């Protein structure tokens, strides 16, 4: 069996070497000729899989080791008789931890307690639910806007509101919707000029897809209202990042919010299981077995004295921001090659559950605010955030 795979998919040999010969290619450079005689195609979000790519091929299965599918023409695959699977939820925890780290870091920089603030979560799928859980653990009040959420599926202690109601009430807004241009609730430019100028929010986080926010309208907003903070992990023009927008956002990163090692590993394992099912092959290995063979174990993490510093030690959002800004050219733009290199060479990042925190003397605090406004960071509190 012949397998063509994005070179950035981890654990390819561990899961797929037993199926056949693997040819690794840069994801953006996979072309029709590369898959013409392949049986399996394994991609991430940077490869557009459409009718032109698969025309005349021998493909039997396409797997995307990602949660999003906007880069896949599923109708074209179905018409060609090619099975497809993605990895929904594989990196939900990673994205949620990234968002929580940004929320805590912003609260510290602003000198405001995070507990009691209102977080608006737009989209309540796998990622949105994980964000809701961490926000509640941090003491935030949570509103959710998701017109596609089935009745009775709202998380506990969360109020469902319209998008306009959410924007009017939330102190911070975070986006967790797929990119869609049709259907009952399209999300392309979900936040345009009117939505961006609405409400009282002071922090907007987008770790979903770049075009969910109209980046031209966002640029205009930040020129007019420089006090509002925006954190962008995704960009409407990516892999190019425009310098004039990069200079105005509070946090910038190269589409890596979901780039935990665990998230990537889960994605590969999920696609492997789906491939086995589609090809009627018995699975011969699990992710737990792979990790045991690699000797993966819980690591000890010294308590640095502040929750923000602890979270940065695991989820280094500031370092991600610094690397992206340092990669900008003389004109201020980040070019596609530089953007892709940051993703390809992204340092290994483990999720909170990989660490057991070793506490030192003295209680840690959520922020640097008054003691009466900041709950103590206890072992139970850290466990609620997911630490081992």
* Residues 221-248: tens digit of each pLDDT: 999 999 999 999 999 999 999 999 999 9
8 Å CB contact between 299 and 355: yes
Mean pLDDT on 363-369 = 41
**Between 317 and 375, residue with greater pLDDT:** 317
Instruction: Exactly one of 14, 238, 262, 351 is catalytic; name it.
Output: 238
Cα–Cα distance for residue pair 140/118, rounded to 1 Å: 6
**Beta strands, E only, the chain:** 2-6, 21-25, 40-43, 61-64, 83-85, 118-122, 141-145, 159-160, 172-175, 203-206, 229-232, 251-252, 299-302, 355-358, 364-365, 376-377
| C-beta separation of 31 from 53 below 8 A | yes
User: Residue 303: its pLDDT value, please?
Assistant: 87
Average the pLDDT over 253-267 and give the result. 98
pLDDT tier at 360, thresholds 50, 70, 90:
low
Percent of the chain whose pLDDT exceeds 90: 90
How far apart are the C-alpha atoms of 14 and 326, rounded to whole Å? 35
In the prediction, which pLDDT does 134 show?
97
> What's the pLDDT tens digit per position in 16-37?
999 999 999 999 999 999 999 9
**Residue 68: predicted pLDDT:** 87
> How large is the average pLDDT for residues 144-165?
93
153, with CB counted inside 10 A (0-12, 13-18, 19+), is exposed
Question: Given this model, what pLDDT does residue 304 score?
Answer: 86
Q: What percent of the chain has pLDDT over 70?
A: 96
CATH code that applies to domain 92-253+305-377 = 3.40.50.720
Confidence at 376, pLDDT banded by 50, 70, 90? low
Rounded (10°) CA dihedral 211, 205, 203, 164: 60
Say whether 238 is catalytic: yes
Q: How confident is the model at residue 377 (pLDDT cuts 50, 70, 90)?
A: confident
Here the tokens at position 22 are 């693997």
Q: Break the chain into its structural domains and give their ranges.
A: 2-86+260-284, 92-253+305-377
Do 172 and 201 touch, CB atoms closer than 8 A?
A: yes
pLDDT bracket for residue 152 (50, 70, 90): confident
Per-residue confidence band for 308, with pLDDT thresholds at 50, 70 and 90: very high
Alpha helices in 232-286 (DSSP H): 243-246, 261-278
The answer to whether 79 and 41 have CB atoms below 8 angstroms apart is: no
264: CB partners within 8 A, 6+ apart: 9, 10, 11, 65, 90, 91
Least confident of 53-57, 158-162, 361-365: 361-365
Instruction: Say if residue 58's pLDDT is above 50.
Output: yes
Q: From the candidates 129, 255, 323, 350, which is the catalytic residue?
A: 255
**Strand 83-85's sheet: what is its strand order?**
21-25, 2-6, 40-43, 61-64, 83-85
Residue 230 near residue 198 (C-beta atoms within 8 A): no
pLDDT at 56 over 90: yes
Note the pLDDT of residue 380.
87
Mean pLDDT, rounded, of the chain: 94
The pLDDT of residue 362 is: 44
In degrees, to the nearest 5, what angle opens at C-alpha 68 toward C-alphas 126 and 186? 90
How far, in Å, CA of 239 to CA of 252, rounded?
13
Q: Does 255 participate in catalysis according to the annotation?
A: yes
- Contact (CB, 8 A) for 170 and 118: yes
What's the pLDDT score for residue 151?
79
**Which pLDDT value is given to residue 366?**
40
Architecture of domain 2-86+260-284: 3-Layer(aba) Sandwich (3.40)
Please identify which of the residues 44, 71, 176, 209 carries the catalytic annotation.
Answer: 209
Number of Cβ atoms within 10 Å of the Cβ of 376: 10
Q: How far apart are CA 51 and CA 261, in angstroms?
A: 32
The sign of the torsion formed by the CA atoms of 127, 130, 134, 136 equals positive
Does residue 209 surpass a pLDDT of 50? yes
Read off the pLDDT of each residue in 108-136 and give the average, rounded to a whole number: 96
* Burial (Cβ within 10 Å: 0-12, 13-18, ≥19) of residue 379: exposed
What is the C-alpha to C-alpha distance for residues 192 and 178, in angstroms, rounded to an integer? 16
Whether 2-86+260-284 and 92-253+305-377 share one fold: the answer is yes
- Residue 198 has φ and ψ, to the nearest 5°, of -80, 155
User: What's residue 199's pLDDT?
Assistant: 86
b/e map 298-332, b = 16+ CB within 10 Å: eeebebeebbbebbbebbbbeebbebbbebbeeee
User: How many Cβ atoms from other residues are within 10 Å of residue 372's Cβ?
Assistant: 7
Please determine, for residue 367, whether its predicted confidence score (pLDDT) is greater than 80: no
């Amino acid at each position: 069996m012949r397998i063509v795979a994005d070179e950035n998919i981890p654990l390819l040999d561990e899961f797929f070497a037993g199926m056949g010969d693997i040819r690794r290619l840069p994801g953006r450079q996979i072309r029709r000729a590369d898959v013409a005689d392949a049986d399996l195609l394994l991609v991430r979000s940077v490869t557009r899989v459409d009718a032109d790519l698969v025309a005349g091929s021998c493909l039997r299965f396409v797997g995307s080791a990602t949660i999003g599918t906007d880069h896949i023409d599923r109708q074209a695959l179905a018409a060609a008789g090619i099975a497809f699977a993605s990895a929904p939820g594989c990196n939900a925890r990673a994205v949620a931890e990234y968002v929580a780290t940004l929320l805590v870091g912003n609260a510290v920089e602003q000198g405001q307690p995070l507990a009691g603030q209102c977080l608006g979560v737009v989209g309540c799928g796998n990622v949105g639910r994980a964000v809701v859980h961490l926000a509640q653990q941090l003491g935030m009040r949570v509103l959710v806007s998701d017109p596609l959420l089935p009745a009775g599926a709202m998380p506990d202690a969360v109020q469902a509101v319209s998008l306009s109601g959410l924007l009017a009430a939330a102190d911070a807004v975070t986006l967790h919707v797929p990119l869609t241009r049709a259907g009952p609730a399209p999300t392309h430019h979900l936040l345009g000029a009117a939505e961006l100028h609405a409400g009282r929010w002071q922090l907007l986080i987008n770790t979903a897809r770049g075009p969910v926010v109209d980046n031209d309208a966002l640029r205009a907003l930040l020129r007019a209202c420089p006090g509002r903070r925006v954190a962008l992990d995704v960009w409407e023009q990516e892999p190019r990042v425009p310098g004039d927008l990069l200079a105005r956002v509070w946090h910038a990163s190269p589409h890596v919010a979901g780039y935990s090692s665990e998230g990537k590993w889960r994605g590969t394992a999920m696609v492997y299981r789906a491939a086995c099912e589609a090809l009627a092959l018995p699975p011969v290995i699990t992710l737990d077995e792979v990790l045991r063979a690699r000797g993966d174990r819980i690591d000890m993490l010294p308590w640095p004295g502040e929750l923000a510093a602890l979270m940065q030690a695991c989820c280094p959002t500031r370092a991600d921001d610094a690397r992206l800004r340092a990669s900008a050219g003389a004109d201020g733009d980040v070019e596609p090659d530089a953007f892709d290199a940051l993703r390809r060479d992204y340092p290994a990042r483990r999720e909170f559950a990989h660490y057991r925190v070793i506490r030192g003397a003295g209680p840690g605090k959520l922020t640097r605010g008054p003691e009466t406004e900041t709950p103590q960071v206890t072992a139970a509190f850290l466990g609620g955030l997911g630490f081992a």
